Structure 1
Amino acid sequence: MVNLFRRFIADTDRCTVCNAQPEDILHAVWGCEALENVWSQLSWARSSVAIPPGDFSNLFAHFLQDFLNAQDPNPISTQLPTSVQWRPPEPNQYKANFDGAVFQSTNSAALGVVIRDWQGAVIGALSVRIPLPQTVAEVEILACCKAVSFALELSLREVVFEGDVVGVINAIKSGTAEHFSFGHIIDDIYHSSSHLNRCDFCFVNCSCNKVADPLAKKAKEGNDFKVWLEDISTDLAPLVASDVA
């Protein structure tokens, strides 16, 4: 009614039901006294909005947050990490950083993994090219899966896996693989990581993942699969050194 009044189509902007307030969207779905009997049947609705919302988007935000909280009583944090530089793992543990790259020109993608010990020394690294998956998220999930299998091949038992796509890390940590189109890959990660004595999956800033990213992109140069053991590509050695400087 408010919009009709502003366009000179209606003679008044007042609600035709209660005739007490202007009839905007918020009033029509929430504020009108005629709706009190409707909303009072839903105790969660009134209790979730203790303070009258200022506009419709504010009301929607209240309900959306209430819905999300109801889905998971202990939601996974999506806050950005505070660290902006790679940190070594705890003594006698290892850290595997993974990343993916997409090459649209060749309809392919690539995975990069670097695993280092608690002193920052490279235990192993790899770069592999793969056919282009359907989504970018699937590229990152495959990179994580490759990182886990690589750690097992190196006979490591306590590993922290780090990636820079928060949605992928949250998907892995959610424990509900069936909710995702790439759930079968998450299941592979669960199965493989179960053979480790201890592992964790963490989201990090891109600056903490600056070795894995160029490793993935190296696959565009022609080698479909390249592995380094206790070493890394010469051009990436300065990046490794800067992480522990």
Structure 2
Amino acid sequence: MAALPILRSGCCWRVGNGESIDVTKDKWIPNYLSNKLLHPVIDMKEGWKVSNLIDWDIHGWRRDILMAKFNRDEVEAVCRIPLSRRVMEDSMVWLHNRRGVYTVRSGYHLARQRACHDVLPTGVNLAKRKIISDMLCHCCKSVTEDTLHAVWGYGAAQDVWAGSLKVLQKFQTNHVDFLQLFEALVDRLSTTEMELFLVQAWLIWNQRNVMVHGGQMKNPGWLTKRAAELLEEYKKAQATLEIPRATPGRSYWKPPPQEVYKLNFDAAIFSNLNCSGVGAIIRKFDGGVMAGIAAKGDYVHNSDDAEALACRKDLEFAREAGFSSLIIEGDNLKCDESNIKY
């Protein structure tokens, strides 16, 4: 439950049929600032869905509606969102790793980033957004609550740090903000010590939330022990899940079985031309070329997106050319590992 706000802030809709996504309220625009519309929409009814912006006859966006109602920059951002040739349901994806799937590790990195950039919902930040008027710490009731105070400065937090690493017990408390503290610790602590600090800080923030909602903070000794246990569990899990990587070497084209064909595809990004390029070749078991394509594509921001779009475009080409039994091969591991829906 403590991670629920992070989960909500780190997710974005992947557009399928658009029927589940509210145009103005939901996050559904990847690679765009807050992933949602920032400018007022002209004359749009309450509850409009993204499906109202799609022309399924051409499997494209209704640019006339977008241009009439949206800010120009947002029109371009929306039109860069690829639409599936199949009418699939909308789905939620995690923004903070390339597979789009939430992991504890990616959630942990997001939490660390939010703390360093001072975007945790502390008293000060909530007051800035006019959500509350009282900026005092919920725990000590005497000092304005910023991120530094919430995870380091108030009495109960200091009790936890007092039982933690010796280097933290003697560390200065006169830092301006959490980022300054974080940078000072990076210079002083080893990697293992820094990891333990981050886990302990997360536990303290978690306990702060428990107290805000009427609960009691656990014993400082228990929190210190629990931080070490969580870090150890994490490291063991990483060792268990680690996949041995193949030794890099020269790669060779492997022919497909005689009864099928192989499609090899690739993509490139041309930032100076504001576009991408896709290419594919279909060969039979003896290497004979059956078909090929080279085409210009929309501009994307990273190679994984370019490879995924290239794969989709090349599959469309293969289907139109009459190939139904294919082995698909590209040079992007994440694209190959993904479950490509078409």
Structure with larger RCO (C-alpha < 8 A, sep 6+): 1
